[in-house]
Amino acid sequence: MSTQKPAGSSAINIRVGSESWTFATGAEEGGEKSALLSNFRKANEDLRKTEEAETEEREKARNSVEYFATRDMALLKNPELMNELETQNATSGSSTMIDVDGKQQNIRWFESQLDDLDIDIALQSFEDAVARVEKLRQLAKTIRGNDMARDIVNLKVDERAAKLATVLTKYLTDTHSWQQTTSRHVDWLTRMGFTDLARESYLEARGQMIKRRTRQVLFTGDLPLYVYQLSFIYFNCIRNSFVVYTSCFASQMTSACVTWAKTQVDELNSALRRQLSNIDRESEVFGECMAKVREHAAMLSEVGLDFKDLVARGLDS
């Protein structure tokens, strides 16, 4: 809305959008024109102040924990956290300032960092994504005086870390035969706190791989050849798995791989019992089969696994 006084006239043109009105006064009505202009200026100033106040309120809202929380559907589905958020005093804890490398940042800074993390995950920039997760978790610890803000930040970061871990686990299980690649994926998962997931996924993938390969071995009537192929697959894969595992995981976690290896040997023993159950223990065929199993079992001693008493248990004469 605007006003304009026509040249050489005491009339005032008032425009609102595309519409226009003219306010004309006589010489003796000058006070009314002055009052109109005064009211117009006052209304215009009041409108400006109202718009500034609304803008300031929107900025405060965007800097608030409530705004940060309600942008995330996962948080909206967390009734306990949302109930706590609703009861939080808006004037005492909504706006949160944190120290980031010596600079004070508000809660919206975290929001932008989470957006960058989402982009890193989408682009599969795994090292950058993992490093950002580590940084955000560390910075969340620096939030003081607002437990709610810290909990929300941690929840948002953990949600994205879990999403990233799912992607990394898939790559880990798809490339478990490559030591360098496996080590890199395990390191990323470990840095985010998913060591158990990495361990379980790796061993499960190796066990499934052994099953697939042994199913490809066809029995053509030559029992010693069949046993040779079967035992070679088992012991070679167990040995290689143990080598990769011990290079990727801490030494205190080695027992998990030893247990896994024992399970694989037990499965081999079961397969051998099914094949050799009707073979005379004193026969040449049986002796040849056992010799091949013992020969391949020696692979485990190369990596420090002593399964002599376990190998071929229940099969010897």
Whether residue 25 is predicted with pLDDT greater than 70 in this model: the reply is no
* pLDDT of amino acid 258: 96
- Cα 11 to Cα 33: distance, rounded to the nearest angstrom: 8
- Cα 136 to Cα 156: distance, rounded to the nearest angstrom: 10
How do residues 212-231 score in pLDDT, each as one tens digit?
999 999 988 899 999 999 99
The count of domains in the chain is 3
Whether 317 is covered by a domain: the verdict is no
Whether 79 is covered by a domain: the verdict is yes
Instruction: Verify that 168 and 229 share a domain, yes or no.
Output: no
At which of 127, 144, 174 does a domain end?
174
Q: What's the angle, vertex CA 121, arms to CA 118 and CA 124, rounded to 5?
A: 150
At which of 129, 148, 174 does a domain end?
174
Whether 139 is covered by a domain: the verdict is yes
Whether residue 171 is predicted with pLDDT greater than 80 in this model: the reply is yes
List the domain range (segments joined by +) for residue 9.
2-62
Among 243, 244, 238, smallest CA distance to 268 is for 238
Whether 227 is covered by a domain: the verdict is yes
* pLDDT of amino acid 5: 52
Whether 245 is covered by a domain: the verdict is yes
Rg of the chain, C-alpha, whole Å: 37
Instruction: Verify that 73 and 154 share a domain, yes or no.
Output: yes
Side by side, the strands of the sheet bearing 2-4 are: 2-4, 12-16, 19-23
Instruction: Verify that 210 and 283 share a domain, yes or no.
Output: yes
Instruction: Verify that 226 and 192 share a domain, yes or no.
Output: yes
Whether 309 is covered by a domain: the verdict is no
* pLDDT of amino acid 193: 96
For residue 119, give the CATH number of its domain: 1.20.58
Instruction: Verify that 164 and 183 share a domain, yes or no.
Output: no
Whether 306 is covered by a domain: the verdict is no
Instruction: Verify that 14 and 34 share a domain, yes or no.
Output: yes
Instruction: Verify that 147 and 198 share a domain, yes or no.
Output: no
Tokens encoding 259: 């247990």
Among 173, 301, 165, smallest CA distance to 242 is for 301
Sequence-ordered list of residues with C-beta below 8 angstroms from that of 295, at least 6 positions apart, any chain: none
Under a CB-based contact definition with an 8 Å cutoff, are residues 164 and 174 in contact?
Answer: no
Instruction: Verify that 191 and 296 share a domain, yes or no.
Output: yes
Residue range 90-114: mean pLDDT, rounded: 68
Under a CB-based contact definition with an 8 Å cutoff, are residues 111 and 68 in contact?
Answer: yes
Whether residue 189 is predicted with pLDDT greater than 90 in this model: the reply is yes
Mean residue pLDDT of the chain comes to: 82
Whether residue 26 is predicted with pLDDT greater than 70 in this model: the reply is no
At which of 174, 205, 233 does a domain end?
174
Instruction: Verify that 198 and 279 share a domain, yes or no.
Output: yes
Residue range 114-121: mean pLDDT, rounded: 94
How do residues 252-278 score in pLDDT, each as one tens digit?
999 999 999 999 999 999 999 988 888
Instruction: Verify that 211 and 153 share a domain, yes or no.
Output: no
Instruction: Verify that 163 and 224 share a domain, yes or no.
Output: no
Whether 27 is covered by a domain: the verdict is yes
Among 305, 216, 299, smallest CA distance to 254 is for 305
Whether residue 178 is predicted with pLDDT greater than 80 in this model: the reply is yes
